[in-house]
Structure 1
Amino acid sequence: MIVSHRHRFVLLAPWKTASSTTHARLHDYNESPYSRFYDFNPHLQRVVHQHLTYADFRMLPESRLGYVTGAFIRNPYDRVYSGFLQLQRDIREQPNAPFPNAWIKALVMRQLADNEAQLIAADFQFDKWLSLVGESQVYEIGRNSSFPLHPAHYWTGICGQQMVDFIGKVENFESDFDRLCARVGIDVDRRPNANVTADSAVGGSRYRYVDRMGSTSIGKINALFADDFALFGYEKRPG
């Protein structure tokens, strides 16, 4: 989550929606007191990270300042597949990352172990893995903060009602990033991309990963993220 007191805006960060790129580009404007990595938040009284939902944000003092709020979203197919890849990177990299204290690391290691066990059971194959993902993992935010693949509308409002002032789409990232900058009155000349692979760069092709999925997986994503398709105008592929 990016907080700019000077320019009075907050940008929330759904998982797998170019949040690393927006942080890199808006680094000079970010005055958030909260860690991007795992940490105990005293307002929420639980361990969280940069991917706070809008409901979480409403519990923070920054939500009462009247700032412009926004979030970038991404089509459900690419979010799910990119999340599948990210889980594997997290299992490799996060055990070696510096944690604020030992008990938080122990909590996260248990979460990563759950994620790894599910991936192993699926032989690290996407369609098998998604068949094992349960509704509770997608809809319930509290049990495993290392599996934040929740519907994108969790970051744009509550109960399907839009609360944020701005919604951008990763599929239109550069033009929507310009629109965000105009909305909050900033001019960003340096525009690096971060945490981007050759086939997952921001913008460009509408659906990057759907051709890597079987019809059963497409149908499951259509069902799990039905509200996102309806709220944000993404076209469903037949499952």
Structure 2
Amino acid sequence: MIISHQHRLVILFPWKTASQTIRFRLKHLDQSPYPKSYHFNPYLQRVVHQHITLADFSLLPEAQLGYRLAVFVRNPYDRVYSGFQQILRDALSQPKWQLPASWIHQLVTQQLADNFEEICRSSFDINRWFAQLPLHKILELGRNSSLYLHPCSYWTHRVDQLVVDFVGKVESFEEDFARLCELYGLEPASTVSVNQTPASELPKVQAIHGFRYAKLFEPQNIEKINAVFKSDFVHFNYPILTP
């Protein structure tokens, strides 16, 4: 997350919602005392990183300052695909990470190994992987700090009540990011986008309703996404695809 005392603003980062780009563009405004990477948070008493949810944030002292909250969300179909790709990237990059304590490194290593093992068992097939992914690994907060594939509503709503002041969408990122900056008087230091998969490595599929990767999923997984991420479709007005 980003905390700007100057602008009285907190930006929370759901997993796989352009958070790296937002942080890169606004890092000069960030006054958060919490590390971006894995660390033991003394208020939450567990290992977390930059993607802490609204429930986690509410337990931090900064939540008592009355700052405005902003969040970017993304449609569930594309987030599931992007999460699958992130697990593959993490398995390759993790040995290079510098973490604050050996026990944290051990924990994160085990989490990433478990995530990667599930992909291996699916023969690196996204449909087999998601079909076998237990619901508690998506819906249970705090179980695995390396798999934040919770509904985006975990960052924006308390039960069914919207409690953040600004919601942007990855599908209209540049327009919504400009709206965020204008609304809160932010001056980005860059227009660069980071942590994006090269176009040559992306699957060649036709977008549906602006969903870039929905056609990759088999009907049973479309049904599973529709059910598990129902709150995101409802709260953010994403159209639900029919299997």
The bucket for the TM-score relative to the shorter chain is over 0.9
**Is it true that 1:210 corresponds to 2:206 in the alignment?**
no
Partner of 2:242: 238
Partner of 2:64: 64
Aligned with 1:26: secondary structure? helix
**Equivalent pair of 1:68/1:184 in contact (CA under 8 Å):** no
RMSD (Å) for aligned C-alpha atoms: 1.4
**Equivalent pair of 1:39/1:100 in contact (CA under 8 Å):** yes
Residue 85 (structure 1) shift: 0.4
**Is it true that 1:223 corresponds to 2:223 in the alignment?**
no
Residue 123 (structure 1) shift: 0.4
Q: Which moved more, 1:40-49 or 1:177-186?
A: 177-186
Alignment partners' CA distance in 2, 1:45 and 1:179 = 36
Q: Deviations over 1:176-213 (max 9, x none)?
A: 1111112211232621101012347xxx9821111111
Partner of 2:163: 163
**Equivalent pair of 2:28/2:189 in contact (CA under 8 Å):** no
Q: Label 1:189 to 1:49 Cα distance change in 2 as closer, same or farther (>3 A).
A: closer
**Equivalent pair of 2:24/2:190 in contact (CA under 8 Å):** no
**Equivalent pair of 2:40/2:47 in contact (CA under 8 Å):** yes
Q: Deviations over 1:147-197 (max 9, x none)?
A: 110000000021121111000000111111111112211232621101012
Q: Deviations over 1:81-121 (max 9, x none)?
A: 00000011111111221011100000111111211111111
Alignment partners' CA distance in 2, 1:133 and 1:28 = 38
Alignment partners' CA distance in 2, 1:113 and 1:189 = 36
**Equivalent pair of 2:26/2:189 in contact (CA under 8 Å):** no
TM-score, normalised via structure 2 length:
0.94
Alignment partners' CA distance in 2, 1:38 and 1:153 = 22
Partner of 1:9: 9
Aligned AA for 2:178?
A: D
Aligned with 1:222: secondary structure? helix
Gaps of 5+ in 1: none
Gaps of 5+ in 2: none
Aligned with 1:82: secondary structure? helix
Alignment partners' CA distance in 1, 2:56 and 2:219 = 34
Identical residues among aligned pairs (%): 48
Partner of 1:34: 34
**Equivalent pair of 1:229/1:236 in contact (CA under 8 Å):** yes
Partner of 1:97: 97
Partner of 2:147: 147
Partner of 2:134: 134
Provide the aligned length of Structure 1 versus Structure 2.
236
Q: Deviations over 1:46-84 (max 9, x none)?
A: 000000000000001111111111100000000000000
